[in-house]
Amino acid sequence: MSWDDKLLKQAKKIIKLYPQKRSALGPLLHLAQSKDGYISDDSITVISELVGITEVQVKSVSTFYSMYKQEPTGKYLLSVCKSISCEINNSSEVINKVQEFTGLNNNETDEEELFTFEAVECIGACGGAPAVQVNYETVEGVTPENAINLCKWLKDTKPDVVVADEMQENFGGIKSFDWAIQDNSGATSTAPGFQTLKTTKAKK
Ligand code: FES
């Protein structure tokens, strides 16, 4: 096994939460992704040994869910919603502009490993369509022009932490609803921030 002791300890703690080891598969994949930013072959092997199922079974779950990444992403994962509410609010033009700016096709990463682009299904912000996520931090009501401004800002300033509220204020439009508590945490990586390895932190 090539996970270090700290990670293995975390994994065993997670496994203990479930009556059957294999039920811990999802959280263990999150753990693997927070380690590397994607699910490596090595992690597939480690997880299969930890929970006592085949590597193919682990792989079949990790490839079923699009938020488990099968290869490294760029520093900023740009996810633009293409589902119906966003589509009727001009998301195809937002997608065009993001692709134009980054030069990327769907699920591609640029050579500098700055951007990965993906057109995704509904991200739960239909009321604020069209919606975009950067490292899973959501911005609503994004116009094609502001999609370019957002990409430019990311490229020029390369923030270590992307915060939904900050991006919403600068590049968003109509929000779906008042979120009440201001979200001042942010994403420090493209691995979804489940905080297993403290992948989110408070903004100073
Ligand atoms: S359809 Fe785009 S967020 Fe739901």
* Mutation test residue for ligand 1: of 126, 140, 174, the one with most atoms within 8 Å of CB: 126
Residues 17 and 102 in one domain: no
Q: What is the pLDDT of residues 71-82, one digit of tens each?
A: 999 999 999 999
Query: Binning pLDDT at 50, 70 and 90, where does residue 200 land?
Result: very low
Residues 91 and 154 in one domain: yes
Q: Is 126 near ligand 1, meaning CB less than 6 Å away?
A: yes
The DSSP-derived string for 32-85 is HHHHHSS--HHHHHHHHHHHT--HHHHHHHHHHSTTS-SS---SEEEEEE-SHH
Residues 152 and 173 in one domain: yes
200 within some domain? no
Residues 86 and 156 in one domain: yes
Q: What is the pLDDT of residues 4-35, one digit of tens each?
A: 999 999 999 999 999 999 999 999 999 999 88
Domain boundary among 37, 64, 91: 64
pTM, rounded to two decimals: 0.87
Residues 167 and 100 in one domain: yes
Q: Is 139 near ligand 1, meaning CB less than 6 Å away?
A: no
Ligand 1 centroid–CA 129 distance in Å is 6
Tokens 């199922």 map to which residue?
Answer: 53
Q: What is the pLDDT of residues 54-67, one digit of tens each?
A: 999 999 999 999 99
Q: Are the beta carbons of 145 and 170 closer than 8 angstroms?
A: no
Q: Is 143 near ligand 1, meaning CB less than 6 Å away?
A: no
Residues 47 and 140 in one domain: no
CB atoms within 10 A of CB 195: 12
Domain boundary among 36, 64, 92: 64
190 within some domain? no
Q: What is the pLDDT of residues 152-183, one digit of tens each?
A: 999 999 999 999 999 999 999 988 866 666 66
- CATH code at 135? 3.40.30.10
Total of domains in the chain = 2
| Parent domain of 47 | 5-64
Ligand 1 centroid–CA 122 distance in Å is 4
204 within some domain? no
Residues 89 and 26 in one domain: no
Query: Binning pLDDT at 50, 70 and 90, where does residue 194 land?
Result: low
Ligand 1 centroid–CA 84 distance in Å is 7
Ligand 1 centroid–CA 91 distance in Å is 9
pLDDT score of 77: 96
169 within some domain? yes
201 within some domain? no
Q: Work out which ligand 1 atom sits closest to the CA atom of 86.
A: 2
